Amino acid sequence: MTIARYYMMHAREGADASLESALRALADAVGQLPGCEGVEMLRDLGNERRFLFIEKWTDVDAHKAAGSLLDKSLFAPVMGAVDGPPDGAYFDYLIG
């Protein structure tokens, strides 16, 4: 059963390009981890500073296990560009 882990985040003023670049690098790395079934990244059409980062996983345990395998240096550029901590949650796919 595929699950989604989503993160909603806002870039600091003037840091939307930096956040986009950092999220692209993070997506490339996350997509290679065992149990990851893909990554999606979206930008709000009405607010270019708001991003949605969605990771697809085989299950919650796969997501949690992969955290120890991910290069933690990838988070510094993300955290340096966001305006506050990301909002995140796990979701079940009902359709799709």
Short-list 46, 53, 63, CA closest to 24 = 53
Q: Three-state secondary structure along 15-26?
A: CHHHHHHHHHHH
List, in order, residues 6 or more apart from 74 with CB less than 8 Å away.
22, 25, 26, 29
pLDDT tens readout for residues 48-85: 999 999 999 999 999 999 999 999 999 999 999 999 99
Q: CA geometry: angle at 57 spanning 54 and 59, to 5°?
A: 130
pLDDT tens readout for residues 3-22: 999 999 999 999 999 999 99
Has this prediction a pTM greater than 0.85? yes
The domains of the chain, with CATH numbers, are 3-92 (3.30.70.100)
